[in-house]
Amino acid sequence: MKATARGEPVARSGQVQSLTRALSILNIIADAPPGLSLTAIAKSLSLPPSTAHRLLTTLQEERYVQYDRDSSRWQIAMRAFVTGNGFLVSRDLSTVARPYMRRLMELSGETVNLAIADGDKAIYLAQVESREMMRVFSKPGNSVPLHCSGVGKAILMAMPEKDVGRIIEMRGLAKLTDKTIVEPERLHHELAEAKERGFALDDEEHAIGLRCVAALIYDEHAEPLAGLSISGPAARISRERMIELGNITKMIADEVTAALGGRLPA
């Protein structure tokens, strides 16, 4: 058996060998923050350049690595970051946020959700259910589109317009209800209003009869870390009440930001 860059033996059989090689590539790129050239990667693992390139291309398709044309180096990509930090993020963020989520549920009487971004979707990490008979339920791990959900639009409102445009161009604006915003110009306008307010609204855009408001939790660099939302039936959440709940949600989200050692954007 050959050894990887960290000394682990590499299996010499089919898919196991390919998996081990791919993980070895991730390991050595992770240990070199500026990234590595194809030649350096192949040499470090004693692989033919063609084999290394095939594995890198596969990892790039799954968004674990990315190729920087300016430096001609392969670098770690977002999916690897999300995967590697998933445990810490879900444990620490959820643990710190939960008492605030309970408080927000008590203040609003509605279900409270915590979610993070993953590509063109938002993934739910935790939920505190409303005590009402009719309430929203979405188990951790469920995902929602960014363009038509409260947490998703909160995440989008913090992005530069060019990044939002790139997501729209790549994924489109799927129409889930008659109220889903499917015109890019209208969505940009909606996001600008949400950013000015400090919270986003989902007015039956993701599901008929469901309304949602969401604000952002920020990290120590004033970058969006997660979305905090309130969801409930339109029968209880009127358009006027959405604004009231939005302000409450933003207040609690700001408190979670402070509890995590984060800071709000200037």
pLDDT in tens, 103-132: 999 999 999 999 999 888 899 999 999 988
Examine the domain organization and report whether 72 and 97 are in the same domain: no
Q: What is the DSSP letter of 19?
A: H
pLDDT exceeds cutoff 90 at 238: yes
Determine what percent of the chain is predicted with pLDDT higher than 90.
70
pLDDT exceeds cutoff 70 at 86: no
Amino acid at 5: A
Examine the domain organization and report whether 33 and 115 are in the same domain: no
Give the total number of structural domains in the chain.
2
Examine the domain organization and report whether 173 and 124 are in the same domain: yes
What range does the domain containing 250 cover? 85-259
Examine the domain organization and report whether 51 and 182 are in the same domain: no
* Backbone torsions φ then ψ of 65, nearest 5 degrees: -135, 165
pLDDT at residue 7 in the model:
44
Where a domain ends, among 76, 108, 134?
Answer: 76
Q: What is the DSSP letter of 74?
A: E
Task: Give the pLDDT confidence of 161-182 residue by residue, as tens digits.
Answer: 999 999 998 889 999 999 999 9
Give the pairing type, strands 121-128 and 9-10.
unpaired
Examine the domain organization and report whether 36 and 162 are in the same domain: no
Examine the domain organization and report whether 107 and 151 are in the same domain: yes
CATH of the domain at 118: 3.30.450.40
Extract the tokens encoding 255: 């408190």
| Within-domain flag for 174 | yes
